[in-house]
Structure 1
Amino acid sequence: MAGQKENPVITGDMKNNVDRASILIESLPYIRKMRGQTFVIKYGGNAMINEDLKQSVMDDITLLKYIGINPVIVHGGGPDISDMLNKVNKESHFVNGLRYTDDETMGYAQMVLIGKTNKDIVSVLCGKGAKAIGISGIDGNLIEAEKLTEDADGNPIDIGYVGKIKKINTKVISMLANDEYIPVIAPIGVGKNGESYNINADTVAAEVAVALGASKLITLTDVGGVLRKLEDGSDYIIPVLDEKDIKDLVEEGIIKGGMIPKIEGCLDTVLRGVDRAHIIDGRIPHSIILETFTKNGIGTMIVKEKKEHYEYRK
């Protein structure tokens, strides 16, 4: 058309800025869909240890809150507990991957998880402009627990003050999350006589997600997801799994070792009402944002039933 000017050639810094704007536009449908929803995020692994990754995760969680999603954090803290026990020359013992927790160890675990780890996370979030509040399962009887007496196979076990969850009382969590706050939960439960129990953080996150009717359970790990070896020897991250897939992959030995309880725990949450469960690599900067606001996402998503044509992983 006469007089029409050609579009400018975009290069350099302007090209980078345009690419960033395109990423924001790509996120709009997901922001619109997920606004007002609750995400439970299990925070652990290297993302808790590496300072740069910690900052990245807290940036992501702060952003979620600012755009209207309600994140709830459940954190681990095994390395911090081990460090404390080493400082007081108390040896750690593990049974089936769980720390034997006598009365003295329970005291240190409670001190570390509630007094240090929890407050460190709250401090970083608040420093980014979020309003985070640290709580534990003791507060308001949030996590009612009892002594764990059987292992995963039903065999008798005694590992001290390690608990299993009887009930999650969601009133305090919901009150905070549905307001302007980010709840940060330390995985300590309380027994009927007021005794404290150390509880696996993955288990707490799963039970909190179910109790809240969360739309997502996001577990930060030190692996990319469920991996399958290709013919050329490279690893392929399986993007979506349902109940049948998981059963088949366990039988094939592709899902094995410590990944089995993690995956089966995620499956259990979606069978009990959580829409999606995600296992993502917390070593990747901004992994939560990549999973939540991009078309392909990252990691492995677990669903109750896989749709025949999965156009989107969301």
Structure 2
Amino acid sequence: MFSVQFSPLRVTACEMLTSDVMRLRLQHPTGRRLPPFEAGAHLQIQISEQHRRAYSLCSNPSDLSHYEIAVKCEHAGRGGSQALHALARPGIELAASLPCNLFALAPEAEHHLLVGGGVGLTPLMAMAYQLAAQGRAFSFVVAVSSAGSSPFVDQLAASGWPVELVDNPRQKLDLRRRLEGLPANTHVYCCGPAGLMQRVREQCADLPGDQWHEEAFVGSETSVQTGFQLHLSDSGLDIEVPAGGSMLAALRQAGVAPDTNCEQGICGSCVVAWSDGEPLHGDQCLDDDDRSEYIAVCCGSCRSARLTLAL
């Protein structure tokens, strides 16, 4: 259902943007132009047999001589970013998918407000390149802890884009006031740490739903405060998911190993059919019609006491 084809891309440059964020330049092994992409797109990278991860493209969409991605080494993560940091060096080839865009710019917007922080700036960088090239109205709000520790800060300072750096965003970020001075059809795009995204989401709560856009490459499954039971219709198993626990972890503990690749709700490899319950979706690979029949178990959960899966 969600088949992905991979081709080799060669790493031609590695640069540490901060102590834990590495930018990689990827080119075709023969130097050919790469397939086009639109701002907001991501690649899936097959890092190893165990690790496939999705990374946003942060390079200029008009320059197809190369792609660029930025990867934060998550020391408390599931190992993919650590493996890529250890592996990446000029000359090595990585298997990569074609670009896929689940975080596209809205063509009808009168103004585009980009808000992000940390490695979440990656898709917003590509958006800024594209908007500036097209002469479209935008502003770029960057949450920073300190200028020296934020990726892209030097590039942003030299860009000429309408960028505002906001230090101490917990206290100083005020998007409600900013939105009051922007056109009614302003679209907001947010990507960054979970706490920042929650604050931005709250401050943009009065926006119409179709004017809010976010991307979160989740590192853990969606959870709920109460436990629930999974009934596996194919095998007849009943599996308890504890309060605050994850569906995927409970399945694995019970000896059920659904296919998983990116474990970020992006690739669709772990999608299974569901019935008889009220699922909670956390993916970015299914649309509303798909979700009426399927759930991505890597980042899904359940509001009801029981959910049936076709496993």
TM-score range normalised by the length of the shorter chain: 0.3 to 0.5
Q: Looking at secondary structure, tell me which structure has more strand per residue.
A: 2
- TM-score computed with the length of structure 1 as normaliser: 0.32
Higher normalized contact order (CA 8 Å, seq sep 6+, divided by chain length): 1
Larger helix percent: 1
Using the size of structure 2 for normalisation, the TM-score is 0.32
